[in-house]
């Protein structure tokens, strides 16, 4: 039954490779002007993929950016390993720092990021982008940046927090823990803080690959990159199966005007596959 349900969500066929030759792709986000932006972390670049014009450099240097998203004004929000910061880029201008410190100490290396409909930015901060002797924070935390610029620590008990995504009504925030190979779910309180942590999905697998980037469709199904491909879960945690990819994926994003194409960044390449259910928009209406 789960496999049949997965087939009902995905168009027939295998993911299509639409670009390659990169070093390590991550952080895809669909721009309202009709193209995809994604990171190549070691290359220190952000690329643009356009359905007509193909691949071009979007930003270089990128601060070795990883996760990308858009704020309510359509500006690029980036997690930068090199700058150990969360930045915001106005069109045609140098990025500005939104967060690089907490408690008077530098962040580790912000990894992935989402923006709530009220403008609050949530991000994860594992130490993947720094040497052990460089770390200053005693935890690998999950933080938020309030609209007034205040940085708050929300959760401090992760091993390596990584991808994160809101449910359609923003009452649940999903966050995966890569070394523990599971996804946790948190209730989002009215004030935006997190409560009631529980294991949502176990993604342990004999093949290499840990849960990484994730996205949610309008029906509340969760798509998480992991071992062998993109794992899909129903809102109640039922595992529906895996969209197998030729390379191990790191992240994914909904794209095209109908938000029914799932773009997947996987090591040296960019893939896409059509879905039957639209993804949630990146820029969300206030709930």
Contact 47, 26 (CB under 8 A): no
Quick one: pLDDT at residue 93?
85
Residue 47 CA to residue 31 CA, distance in Å, equals 12
Structure tokens at 89: 């880029």
CA angle 13, 15, 21 (to 5 degrees): 150
Quick one: pLDDT at residue 2?
66
195-252 confidence digits (pLDDT tens)? 999 999 999 999 999 999 999 999 999 999 999 999 999 999 999 999 999 999 999 9
Quick one: pLDDT at residue 136?
97
Quick one: pLDDT at residue 90?
86
What's the Rg (C-alpha) of the chain?
Answer: 17
Quick one: pLDDT at residue 5?
87
Quick one: pLDDT at residue 3?
65
Contact 44, 64 (CB under 8 A): yes
Could you say which DSSP state residue 4 is in?
H
Q: What is the pairing mode between strands 65-70 and 105-106?
A: unpaired
Residue 137 CA to residue 148 CA, distance in Å, equals 23
CA distances from 67 to 1, 43, 206, 275 (A): 34, 15, 26, 22
Residue 58 CA to residue 77 CA, distance in Å, equals 14
Quick one: pLDDT at residue 255?
98
* CB atoms inside a 10 Å sphere around CB 251: 28
Nearest alpha carbon to residue 46 among 30, 26, 31 = 26
3-state secondary structure of 68: strand
Quick one: pLDDT at residue 92?
78
pLDDT tens digits, the chain, 287 residues: what are they?
Answer: 566 789 899 999 999 999 999 999 999 999 999 999 999 999 999 999 999 999 999 999 999 999 999 999 999 999 999 999 999 998 778 899 999 999 999 999 999 999 999 999 999 999 999 999 999 999 999 999 999 999 999 999 999 999 999 999 999 999 999 999 999 999 999 999 999 999 999 999 999 999 999 999 999 999 999 999 999 999 999 999 999 999 999 999 999 999 999 999 999 999 999 999 999 999 887 65
Write the burial class of residue 192 (CB in 10 Å: 0-12 exposed, 13-18 middle, 19+ buried): middle
Give the global pTM. Answer: 0.97
Residue 70 CA to residue 76 CA, distance in Å, equals 5
* Phi, psi (rounded to 5 degrees) for 34: 100, 35
Helices and strands: H and E segment counts in the chain: 1, 26
Contact 122, 153 (CB under 8 A): no
């Amino acid at each position: 039954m789960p496999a049949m349900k997965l087939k009902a969500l995905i168009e027939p066929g295998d993911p299509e490779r639409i670009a390659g030759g990169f070093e390590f792709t991550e952080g895809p986000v669909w721009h309202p002007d009709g193209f995809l932006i994604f990171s190549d972390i070691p290359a220190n670049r952000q690329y643009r993929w356009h359905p007509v014009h193909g691949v071009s450099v979007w930003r270089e240097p990128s601060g070795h950016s990883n996760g990308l998203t858009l704020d309510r004004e359509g500006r690029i929000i980036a997690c930068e390993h090199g700058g150990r910061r969360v930045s915001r880029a106005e069109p045609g201008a140098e990025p500005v720092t939104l967060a690089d410190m907490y408690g008077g100490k530098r962040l580790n290396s912000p990894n992935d990021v989402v923006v709530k409909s009220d403008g609050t930015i949530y991000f994860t901060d594992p130490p993947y982008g720094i040497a052990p002797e460089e770390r200053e924070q005693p935890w690998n935390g999950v933080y938020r940046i309030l609209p007034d610029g205040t940085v708050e620590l929300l959760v401090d008990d992760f091993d390596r927090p990584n991808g994160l995504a809101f449910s359609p009504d923003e009452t649940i925030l999903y966050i995966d823990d890569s070394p523990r190979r599971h996804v946790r779910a948190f209730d989002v309180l009215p004030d935006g803080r997190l409560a009631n942590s529980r294991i949502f999905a176990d993604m342990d697998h004999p093949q290499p690959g840990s849960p990484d980037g994730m996205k949610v469709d309008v029906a509340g199904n969760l798509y998480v990159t992991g071992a062998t491909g993109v794992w899909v879960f129903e809102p109640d945690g039922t595992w529906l199966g895996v969209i197998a990819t030729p390379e191990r994926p790191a992240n994914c994003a909904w794209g095209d005007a109908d938000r029914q194409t799932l773009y997947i960044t996987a090591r040296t390449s960019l893939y896409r596959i059509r879905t039957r259910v639209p993804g949630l928009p990146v820029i969300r209406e206030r709930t």
